[in-house]
Structure 1
Amino acid sequence: MEENSDGGDGGNDVELLCKILQEGHKFFYFDLKENPRRRYLKISEKTSTTRSTIIIPFNGISSFLDLFNYYVNSDDHNVFSKELQHDIKVFYFDVGKNRRERFHKVSEASISRTR
């Protein structure tokens, strides 16, 4: 996951649901939140030195999970990177590999409404 400059967390945000998953030395936080403008899912990955966050609009969660499940359930080592555009965001799903493991990387970017 990549850093998010979108902010999502304002002073009026209410936490509706929070789940924490630990995998090795990493913690993953899944926070369903709501503010006066919208409801959204905030996913954060935290290690001892870094924290990365993506924010998914509520009405995009289903599409996001469909694509995420595609990667999780795929045994094919020839899985390609994909993009998911939703409203003013693009989520990038990439596959990587290092000496220890094969991994999936999810990042986001904002796009202009005029695009």
Structure 2
Amino acid sequence: MASNNNSRPDNGDRQQAGEEELATKTLHVQSKRFYLDVKQNRRGRFLKIAEVSAGGRKSRILMSMNVASELRDHLQTFNEHLDTLGEPSPNNAPEDGRLKSVIISRDDRKYYLDLKENERGRFLRISMVGIASPRTQIAVPAQGITELRVTLSTLLDEFGTEDDRGTL
């Protein structure tokens, strides 16, 4: 269920100086909330995806609109791969639980997309690693991959796939 939600109960994501929030969408998948924020700063437009677990733990990843477009396309292939799999069965999963993986490399960051399976079910782990920043990751339950792709597509349709670094 996606919705526009510009007021959040916790303001742990204080806006950085010079950042403008252009849009926010909220997804509820199982016991998690995901916020997709399109923001803009002096370097251009970007997407922030924040995962808030039932216990209130927060994880965030950032990406350019260009990378967000590539992520959307990969979400479609992950959905297609999920459709070819039978019922979840951790006993038949590879030892590391990995069912499909993709790496997106852009500028000074790498994004690792890993469709995995464990005793609690299937999920997509999206990890971001930067040159001078620690690895951060979010985990989207498999049931939420389609909803994430649709919401991401809506934001990309509205704000474009370019980073808009142009005329400043």
Give percent identity, aligned residues only.
31
Larger radius of gyration between Structure 1 and Structure 2: 2
Does residue 103 (structure 1) correspond to residue 91 (structure 2)? The answer is no
Equivalent position of 1:5 in the other structure: none
**Going by fraction, where is helix more abundant, 1 or 2?**
2
How many residue pairs match? The answer is 105
- RMSD between superposed Cα atoms in Å: 2.0
Match of 1:59 in 2: 66
1:28-39 superposed matches below 5 A: 28-39=34-45
Give the alignment of 1:1-115 within 5 angstroms.
10-47=16-53, 48-74=55-81, 75-77=83-85, 79-111=99-131
Q: Tell me the distance in 2 between the aligned counterparts of 1:71 and 1:108.
A: 18
Deviating beyond 4 angstroms after TM superposition, the runs of 4 or more aligned structure 1 residues are none
Unmatched segments (≥5 aa) in structure 2 = 1-14, 86-97, 133-168
User: CA separation in 2, counterparts of 1:72 and 1:111?
Assistant: 30
- TM-score between the two structures when normalised by the length of structure 2: 0.57
Give the superposition deviation at 1:76. Answer: 3.4
Does the CA-based 8 Å contact 2:78-2:100 persist in structure 1?
Answer: no
Structure 1 residue 20: Cα displacement: 0.4
Using the size of structure 1 for normalisation, the TM-score is 0.80
1:100 is displaced (CA, Å) by 2.3
